[in-house]
């Protein structure tokens, strides 16, 4: 698989993915949220982290689950590009930094207990590092139900 399916329906090679971001009209200049307007003490970070569910803004498909620390949340708010905390690497990561499959954040919500975030995004390419649009591409009995949108071997060096 040489091409990734962009949200707007265009095929784009991994080399063209950054150009595709602009072609799809995913500039975030009209988003008005920023870290200046957020009271971070309101959120319940457990061991410095808060869970984040990521959902497609239009289809409402759940794309992935990750954790954010305060710095990742601030970066996300200020850049409108999703940033997370990697528990395995113990470091910040910008979603799409390697693959080009970025998440343009359109809205961030939080639940009634203030202990979980919901990021509503325009997903460019796939959200899953295994090549699927969503990380939730299989059922508990092992059946593949998700759409593979890129070949992970073409994107990530193993």
Strand partners, 49: 46
Give phi and psi for 107, each to the nearest 5: -160, 150
Q: In terms of DSSP H, where are the helices of the chain? A: 17-23, 70-79, 152-155
Residue 119 in contact with residue 106, Cβ under 8 Å? Answer: no
Distance CA 30, CA 22 (A): 14
**Residue 128 annotated as binding?**
yes
Alpha-carbon torsion 29, 30, 32, 33, what sign?
Answer: negative
Distance CA 129, CA 99 (A): 9
**Residue 115 annotated as binding?**
yes
**Residue 111 annotated as binding?**
yes
Q: Give 85's DSSP letter.
A: E
**Residue 112 annotated as binding?**
yes
Residue 121 in contact with residue 103, Cβ under 8 Å? Answer: yes
State the binding site for Zn(2+).
Answer: 112, 128, 135
State the binding site for Mg(2+).
Answer: 111, 113, 115
State the binding site.
Answer: 111-113, 115, 128, 135
């Amino acid at each position: 698989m040489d091409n990734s399916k962009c949200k707007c329906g265009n095929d784009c090679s991994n080399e063209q993915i950054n150009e595709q971001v602009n072609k799809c009209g995913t500039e975030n200049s009209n988003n008005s949220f920023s870290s200046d307007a957020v009271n971070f003490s309101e959120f319940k970070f457990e061991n410095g982290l808060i869970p984040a569910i990521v959902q497609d803004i239009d289809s409402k498909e759940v794309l992935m689950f990750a954790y954010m620390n305060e710095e990742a949340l601030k970066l996300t708010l200020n850049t409108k590009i999703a940033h997370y905390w990697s528990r395995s690497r113990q470091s910040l990561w910008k979603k799409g930094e390697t693959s080009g499959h970025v998440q343009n954040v359109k809205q961030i919500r939080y639940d009634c207990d203030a202990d979980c975030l919901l990021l509503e995004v325009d997903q460019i390419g796939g959200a899953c590092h295994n090549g699927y649009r969503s990380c939730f591409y299989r059922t508990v009995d092992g059946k593949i139900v998700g759409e593979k949108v890129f070949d992970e071997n073409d994107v990530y060096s193993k």
